[in-house]
Amino acid sequence: MGEESMRADGAQRSDGAPHADGAQRADGRRPADARDAAVWDAAATVMDPEVPVLSIADLGVLRRAELLADGTALVTITPTYSGCPAMDAITADVHRALTTAGFERTRVELTLSPAWTTDWMSDEGKEKLREYGIAPPTGSAPAGPKGPIPVSLSVPCPRCRSLRTRELSRFASTACKALYQCSDCHEPFDYFKVH
């Protein structure tokens, strides 16, 4: 150890040193630096345990990846929902993916602020979600506290695309999803809630 290099954004790459807050970083994007990108690529192979067609990069859960000076592969993730039980599985999977990719020292950090929003989900991710049979989030997250749900925010059926759907339950298989049913084809489906 001993080698300390300062990054352009002010974060120290030495072990245990504080990292600059993400303001200047391209959060949610594959890093330009080749060594950092290798960490990103390894982490991006991790799929969401609840929606196995979506990677954590598709979801926007993967925020940052970098290789520290001491060889530690550091990955920062933001949970979709605070208390989402899937996060423990995702954290373990990221460690495993990094180890498999040849990184001997791995660290996974959770960042809760800024909070994850469905806006971070890639367009490709939303399309994969629909193909999987889960309605992707529509519109953007509401700016203020919950008011009446606007009529325009109808949830399309992932099977027939009908907009005549209704909510059966606020919580489906997980707190992140609501259970809907299509009034046309009667297909019940999970809707990935906008928040």
Q: Which residues bind Zn ion (CB under 5 A)?
A: 157, 159-160, 162, 182, 184-185, 187
Nearer to Zn ion, 11 or 157 (CB): 157
Least Cβ distance, residue 181 to Zn ion (angstroms): 9
Minimum gap (Å) between residue 180 Cβ and Zn ion: 10
Distance CA 62, CA 80 (A): 10
The least distance separating Zn ion from the CB of residue 178, rounded to whole angstroms, comes to 16
d(CA 30, CA 138): 25
Shortest distance, position 163 Cβ to Zn ion, whole Å: 9
Show the tokens assigned to 154: 């109808």
Q: Which is nearer to Zn ion, 12 or 181 (CB)?
A: 181
The packing angle between helices 34-43 and 86-100, to 10°, is 130
Nearer to Zn ion, 90 or 157 (CB): 157
Q: Any residues with CB less than 8 A from the CB of 47 and at least 6 apart, and which? A: 53, 54, 55, 56, 93
Q: Give the nearest distance from C-beta 188 to Zn ion in angstroms.
A: 10
- Residue 146 has which token pair? 């919950």
* Residue closer to Zn ion (CB basis): 99 or 181: 181
In the complex with Zn ion, the residue whose CB is nearer, 172 or 182, is: 182
Is residue 57 helix, strand or coil? helix
Strand extents, DSSP E, 78-176: 105-110, 134-135, 165-169
